[in-house]
């Protein structure tokens, strides 16, 4: 079996690369540099340590090679598991966004393919979301609406909407488009595939 032509039939260049770290610079909800060490979110239990939020059940990731190339510049390599200081209860940025209905990302999936593969797609969304949550408790799905043949999710930050969109594009091809608001605080990801 020879295949001289290696080009893929559906090479659609993604118009914009994921912009890393934009959220950290422009996100008005990220203000934990003033928080006491070990501050605990009273809504979700996330713990702040050295300016970064950790999941309530955080384990030191030194054993997890898969995250060795993390793009999270605020993480300090090999930092110890944070110790919660129950006296300093706060509300973390993600929970404040949930409260204020202020998403950082909106992902909309349209086209006949969506409903035909609804369960698969919802599973993929859940998996990507859980993966992100284990690394950064501030990356969360805020809402998920699946109706009229379309799926729309909102996320607390722009990275998660992009990451899920990318995963769907990778799995199912189709077309994908990213649009940022002028102030860079909100990304709208639109994925489409007909049957």
Cβ nearer to Zn ion, comparing 48 with 162: 48
> Smallest gap, in angstroms, from Cβ of residue 42 to Zn ion?
8
Six-digit token string for 22:
């934009």
> Smallest gap, in angstroms, from Cβ of residue 104 to Zn ion?
15
Cβ nearer to Zn ion, comparing 23 with 41: 41
Taking the C-alpha atoms of residue 16 and residue 22, their distance in angstroms, rounded to an integer, is 14
> Smallest gap, in angstroms, from Cβ of residue 172 to Zn ion?
32
Binding segment for Zn ion (CB under 5 A), chosen from 22-30, 84-92, 101-109, 174-182, is: 84-92
Q: In what order do the strands lie in the sheet with 187-192?
A: 141-147, 150-155, 105-110, 187-192, 175-180
- Sites for Zn ion among residues 42-71 (CB under 5 A): 43-44, 46
Interacting residues of 173 by C-beta distance below 8 A, sequence separation 6+: 10, 12, 193
Cβ nearer to Zn ion, comparing 32 with 128: 32
How many residues are there in the chain?
195
Cβ nearer to Zn ion, comparing 43 with 118: 43
Distance of CA 41 to CAs 24, 154, 160, Å?
A: 19, 21, 20
Residue 92 lies near Zn ion (rule: CB under 5 A):
yes
In the complex, the residues that contact Zn ion under the rule CB under 5 A are 41, 43-44, 46, 92, 95
């Amino acid at each position: 079996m020879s295949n001289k032509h290696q080009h893929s039939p559906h090479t659609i260049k993604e118009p914009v690369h994921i912009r890393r770290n934009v959220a950290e610079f422009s996100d008005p909800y990220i203000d934990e540099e003033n928080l006491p060490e070990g501050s605990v979110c009273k809504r979700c239990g996330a713990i702040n340590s050295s300016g970064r939020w950790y999941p309530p059940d955080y384990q030191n990731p030194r054993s997890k090679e898969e995250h060795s190339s993390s793009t999270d510049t605020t993480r300090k390599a090999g930092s110890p598991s944070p110790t919660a200081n129950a006296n300093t209860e706060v509300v973390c940025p993600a929970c404040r966004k949930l409260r204020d209905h202020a998403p950082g990302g909106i992902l909309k999936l349209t086209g006949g393919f969506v409903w035909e593969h609804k369960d698969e797609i919802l599973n993929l969304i859940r998996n990507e979301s859980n993966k992100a949550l284990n690394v950064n408790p501030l990356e969360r799905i805020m809402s998920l609406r699946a109706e009229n043949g379309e799926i729309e999710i909102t996320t607390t930050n722009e990275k998660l909407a992009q990451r899920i969109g990318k995963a769907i594009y990778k799995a199912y091809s189709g077309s994908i488009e990213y649009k940022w608001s002028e102030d860079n605080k909100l990304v709208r990801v639109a994925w489409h595939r007909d049957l």
